[in-house]
Structure 1
Amino acid sequence: MLRRFVQLAALVLVSFPAQAQNRAGTFDYYVLALSWSPTWCALEGTARNAPQCDRPLGWVLHGLWPQYDRGYPEYCAGTGRDPSRAQTGAMADIMGASGAAWYQWKKHGRCSGLEAGAYFDLARRAYDGVARPEVLRRLPDPVRLPARVVEQAFLADNPALSPDAITITCKAGRIQEARICLSRDDLTPIRCGPDVVRDCAMTDALLDPVR
């Protein structure tokens, strides 16, 4: 009976590892998620009359996500104060809207273990530390291209990046996001975990221009 109990306990630990507890401050690295604003507007934002879609935005900060080697924490319990409207509003220039900043704080920011101001400062630092390829902002018309071309553009403009530190995602036949893996200590690019590296394999993904 005791042996059976031990076996069941081991199975539970495998199925529900400690990372599932979503403890704030307990994670391995960050994922910097950059969304191509024209794609989000085409698929969702324009229908919502989102103010973001009235601005000539290219890569916007989706979020800075604490990540485990496998999986990620979310909606962690926090003991610190939530951000003020001024703090979330101050992120609208790179996130498109203050509401996006608030949502990202609730889902991911609390899991960083940082105070809200420090988390947003770190997210801005991570965003500013990555060169967004200017060539993609200069497209005059929609183009169809292999997703790997977008990755190559990031690699060309960011010498510290390697192919295993960035992944390009697609959605509904369009280029959706660039996700870059960064160390939690100094935000240097590192190899992504196996569940983050999900490169889009499309050879004709649509990339709308910035308007």
Structure 2
Amino acid sequence: MPVGIHTGDNPAYRFRPSFVAAPSTRARHVRRLAFATAACAGLSFAMLTAVSAQGAGERRGAPPGQFDFYVLALSWSPGFCELNASPDRYDQCRNGSKLGFVVHGLWPQYTQGFPTTCSATAVQPTRAAIATTTGLYPDEGLARYQWRKHGTCSGLSPTDYFAAVRRAREAVVIPPAITSMQSDATWTPLDLERAFVAANPGLRTDMMSVACRRGTLSEVRICFSKDLRSFQTCPQLDRRGCRGGSITVPQPQ
């Protein structure tokens, strides 16, 4: 490399070697125009990439009621509490609660991506509506949060949305091998999915996903049709589930 050339990030400001003649004014103008054009092209590409990434993931403020299917997320309480840095903050983690699967949420989904917080001015759940969630969510705070983030995208009222949550939860049978646990167990994600399939006629492994962190079960997610009348395939969700090796399923405490 010739002496005198600065290797900074912006080539427009590199020093020229002393033995190279400075370009003419016209040449400098052409060069600046070329840099500006390239910069604009790069910015446009970055903006398009950002929009595409947003389109493939979360779509905040989307129109309510316009989605393709639901995901019922069931949190495995022992795994959630074990993986959480501050488990004492949560009612479901109190020693002696004996909680197993609890509802994390019922989430409207697109084939690609998902809507959230679809109406900042949506009606808030009444005390009566929240009372209907007893036995579903582990606490009232989660029920309210799930309504704001996901329920507002359902196109339903709070009362009807929570009724849909209960309907979806009651449609899923937890495998006996899970409900009768007497100690920590080890499963492969596929075997866990197969246990749910065996306990739920109409369910297949490509209609659900097992979520884990640090080798511990955290959630099971099951896909439903928009009318909640049947399970539904959801390959995008299925591909994001944990796959490798065995996972620990901690016993409820």
TM-score (norm. length: structure 2): 0.73
CA offsets, 1:52-84, max 9 Å, x none?
Answer: 223211111110000000000011115542102
Q: Indicate the RMSD between aligned Cα atoms, in angstroms.
A: 2.7
Corresponding position of 1:24: 64
**SS of equivalent residue, structure 1 residue 95:** coil
Q: How does 1:118-133 map to 2 (within 5 A)?
A: 118-133=160-175
Work out the percentage of aligned pairs sharing the same amino acid.
36
Corresponding position of 2:149: 107
Corresponding position of 2:129: 87
User: Higher mean Cα deviation, 169-178 or 116-125?
Assistant: 169-178
Note the C-alpha offset of 1:187: 3.4
Corresponding position of 2:3: none
Runs of 5+ in structure 1 lacking a partner? 1-7
Change (3 A) 1:175 1:73: same
**SS of equivalent residue, structure 1 residue 73:** strand
* Equivalent-residue separation in structure 2 for 1:193 and 1:108 (angstroms): 21
Q: Is the 8 A contact 1:28 1:66 kept in 2?
A: yes
User: Higher mean Cα deviation, 110-119 or 142-151?
Assistant: 142-151
Q: Is the 8 A contact 2:206 2:238 kept in 1?
A: no
Q: Is the 8 A contact 1:169 1:199 kept in 2?
A: yes
How many residues align? The count is 206
Corresponding position of 1:44: 84
Higher Cα Rg, which structure: 2
TM-score (norm. length: structure 1): 0.86
Amino acid at match of 2:194: Q
| RCO higher in structure (CA 8 A, sep ≥6) | 1
Indicate yes or no: 2:202 matched with 1:160. yes
* Equivalent-residue separation in structure 2 for 1:47 and 1:15 (angstroms): 33
Corresponding position of 1:204: 246
Runs of 4+ in 1 over 4 A off after TM superposition: 11-19
Change (3 A) 1:187 1:64: farther
